[in-house]
Structure 1
Amino acid sequence: MLKIGITGQAGFVGNHLYNTIGLFPEEFARVEFQKEYFEDTDKLNEFVAQCDVIVHLAAMNRHTDPNVIYDTNVNLVQKLISSLKATNSNAHVLFSSSTQEERDNLYGKSKKEGRELMVEWTENSKGRFTGMIIPNVFGPFGQPNYNSVIATFCHKLSHNEIPVIEVDGNLKLIYVGELVNNIISEIRTRKGNSEILIPHTSESTVSGILSLLENYKSEYLEKGIVPSINNVFELNLFNTFRSYMDIKNHFPVKFTQHTDARGSFVEIIRLGVGGQVSFSTTHPGITRGNHFHTRKIERFAVIKGKALIQLRRVGFDEVIDFYLDGNEPSYVDMPIWYTHNIKNIGDEVLYTNFWINEFFDPNDPDTYFLDVC
């Protein structure tokens, strides 16, 4: 079993990598890292000494003074190398650099020099090094005004602010989940390569991205319609947008119920995408679920009975409770990377409709069991 440590574990890419590695407990063991370790030589040495693999993601992307970015990033690499030497480490170190290496800015310069310092360490040790040159990364939970323009747009639109395009350039992009899969593939090779260009998986203008996101706000956030999704990039972008919603206050969403002498009728979902619809009954006191998805879009609609739907983001402690009552039929959509369940808290049988955007495939279920509470 490989012991893997991630500097920058709590950051955007680091958190996704940490959680994904956790899906393979028989193959990988995670070595915990805290950013304070860089200020404590003994703790950094202890961390490094435990690791078979170190993925160095810790870095500064933005600051009002570019010199601070440069000094910080180079200094972090130097501290890591000092610890590798002090512990006589033979670890495989993977380093995240950027396509900005060749640009005339101090961030790109810091990444290039950091990679070169790591290559020099490899030449004088028994360790291995992989330098990954990475395009623009986007995905759920990125920090707005820091990680990417997509993060900024998603945050603003989901909080009723108006995004502004500063430069309508063409962006070469990779989804964070795709990048994580690349990193894990490199770990599995157990080989080093001083310079690997991680290919982008999609390309779009800034205005094209904003147009899609504005449509997601209009269709999904305001009308409850799952929009048309034409390719993997649009699915990833839609899931990214959903991660910025204020789910505590948005859900549950009540259906419009039509009642006459015959009974009642509610429209469950309007779709611009296909998928699978299921119906279930749940006996009083029974809980379903306690799992999460990394790509699927899913809706729970309570039609009859009383239910408690609970969500918890993977890696966090806060549990979000939603109480739904079939007397006022309503739904909750499940964000990706949130483990969720539904429990019958009433005295009668609970009737629930489930919709998910893809057919169930037992060979690729994208369903990972984890208790909410």
Structure 2
Amino acid sequence: MKLALTGAEGFLGWHVRVLARALRWPDPVVVTRSDLAEPAALAGKLAGADRVLHLAGVNRGDPAEVAAGNVELATALVRGLRRCPTPPKTLAYANSVQAGNGTPYGDSKSVAADILSRAGELGTEVADLRLPNLYGEHGRPFYNSVVATFCRMLADGDEPEVREDRELHLVHATDAAARLLDAPPGGSWDPTMPALRIGVRALAELLADHAAGYRTGQIPPLPDRHHVRLFNTYRSHCFPAQQPIALTRRGDARGDLVEVVRAGAGAGQTFCSTSHPGVTRGEHFHLAKVERFAVVRGTAEISLRRVGHDEVVRFPVDGDDPVAVDMPTMWVHNIVNTGSTELLTLFWTNELFDPSRPDTYPEPVTAREPATVG
């Protein structure tokens, strides 16, 4: 699978690249704005691709710039396609349900779709995918979605303001990525893009409830996949600033007691592991699973890196001063026994392990610019 991608550094582009990594597909060819301005260079990157995803666009800003930007990007892409000695098999366009709604953004997305349809003349199959409101981890507040805005405000201790209460149809970005990639069903993604229908006020209240409990490390009730993904989206705005989570040790003549997880209704699984000195566990990431680590005996270092990024965040932890560290989704993580004795770690996840759908994708944690926290 040779995949080429415009808008790779954007919100949806990152989710597409993460899902491609989970599918064990080769890293996509990244098409930059500079490439779009050079037809010959662009043709070289697109030639022979199995699938080109056009995600680059202008969503907000001056109305004239929004209108012109989306049309110019589509025109540049088709110009490069015409110069390909071997045109791509498929071009998938991340259009919007707002296309043709009379706004500069909506109308420009519609015009861009018409321009991109000309790739069909080259033998390239064109998929015009009209995406609804997307949400997900690491969305840009005040730009990508109201979910990102509310999450950022709550993570900063502010209260979201609801100016207009209307129904939203929300789709998680990984589901949209699966649709764009034409990914096989399975795992934690759903290419049918099931939407959560929720009012703006109800969304604000739900996220506020998540935030209120999570300030003390509590896991809210997670009755369905959208509640899980909304909670993961909120957590992405809290990491790493709100980690680790301090745990209270209570002791008497019999010994000590530490409460590690307080969770609302729903499935969950707790397990322990021992690790010999120098042993590393983990080296993988999850797309949806909520996971908590707590060292109860020994010393260790927990390291995490956002998929597709280089910086590594490290937490030194010690069973004599127990803390919990929650693994954000789409971050590679591991735990290393840094002591001279056996390490005992307690793990909790929000779902029972299913070997047919493990939601676990191997990848090592590497560092170029390490940052230590704690």
Q: TM-score range by the shorter chain?
A: over 0.9
Ranges in structure 2 where 5+ consecutive residues have no aligned partner: 186-190, 367-374
Corresponding letter in the other structure for 2:106: G
The 1:115–1:213 alpha-carbon spacing in structure 2 relative to 1, beyond 3 Å, is same
Indicate the residue corresponding to 1:224 in structure 2: 217
Matched, 1:75 2:83: no
What's the CA shift string for 1:294-350, capped at 9, x where partnerless? 000000011111111101111111111101111111110000001111111112211
- The residue that corresponds to 1:244 in the other structure is 237
Secondary structure at the counterpart of residue 308 of structure 2: coil
Alignment-mate amino acid for residue 169 of structure 2: K
Q: Distance in 1 between matches of 2:132 and 2:235?
A: 23
- Structure 1 equivalent of residue 159 of structure 2: 162
Contact persistence 1:172–1:200 (CA under 8 A): no
Match of residue 295, structure 1, among 284, 288, 294: 288
Deviation at 1:20, TM superposition (A): 1.1
What pairs up with 1:138-177 in 2 under 5 angstroms?
Answer: 138-177=135-174
Query: What are the equivalent positions in structure 2 for 1:82-121 lying under 5 Å apart?
Result: 82-91=79-88, 92-121=90-119
Amino acid at match of 1:366: D
Q: Is 1:138–1:175's contact at 8 Å kept on the other side of the alignment? A: yes
Q: Which amino acid aligns with 2:5?
A: I
- What residue is the counterpart of 1:369 in the other structure? 362
Structure 1 position 235 matched with structure 2 position 232: no
Which amino acid counterpart does residue 369 of structure 1 have in structure 2? P
Contact in 1 for aligned 2:239/2:328 (Cα 8 Å): no
Which residue is 1:193 aligned to? Answer: none
Q: Does residue 1:286 correspond to 2:283, yes or no? A: no
Q: What's the counterpart of residue 331 of structure 1?
A: 324
Q: Per-residue deviation at 1:183?
A: 1.7
1:329 is matched by which residue type in structure 2? P
Matched residue pairs, number?
359
Amino acid at match of 1:361: D
Offset of 1:200 from its aligned partner?
Answer: 5.0
**Aligned residue type for 1:291:** H
Q: CA deviation at 1:368?
A: 0.8
- Percent identity reads 35
Cα distance in 1 for residues equivalent to 2:208 and 2:46: 45
CA distance in 2, matches of 1:316, 1:305: 30
Is residue 210 of structure 2 the alignment partner of residue 207 of structure 1? no
What do the CA deviations read for 1:255-312 (whole angstroms, capped 9, x no partner)?
1111222211111111113211001111111111111110000000111111111011
Equivalents in 2 of 1:75, 1:84: separation in Å?
14
| Aligned match for 2:180, one of 183, 194, 206 | 183
- Structure 1 position 21, deviation (Å): 1.3
C-alpha distance in structure 1 between counterparts of 2:357 and 2:275, whole Å:
26
Find the partner of 2:306 among 302, 305, 313.
313
User: Matched residues in 1 for 2:272 and 2:184: separation?
Assistant: 41
Instruction: Identify which range, 312-321 or 198-207, moves more after superposition.
Output: 198-207
- Distance in 1, matches of 2:34 and 2:7, equals 11
2:50 is matched with 52
Q: Which residue is 1:194 aligned to?
A: none
Task: Tell me what 2:33 maps to.
Answer: 35
Instruction: Provide the secondary structure at the position in 2 that maps to 1:22.
Output: helix
Partner of 2:8: 9
Q: Which moved further from structure 2: 208-217 or 261-270?
A: 261-270
Name the TM-score, length of structure 1 as normaliser.
0.92
Q: Secondary structure at the match of 1:291?
A: strand
1: CA distance between counterparts of 2:236 and 2:184?
30
Cα distance in 2 for residues equivalent to 1:297 and 1:262: 33
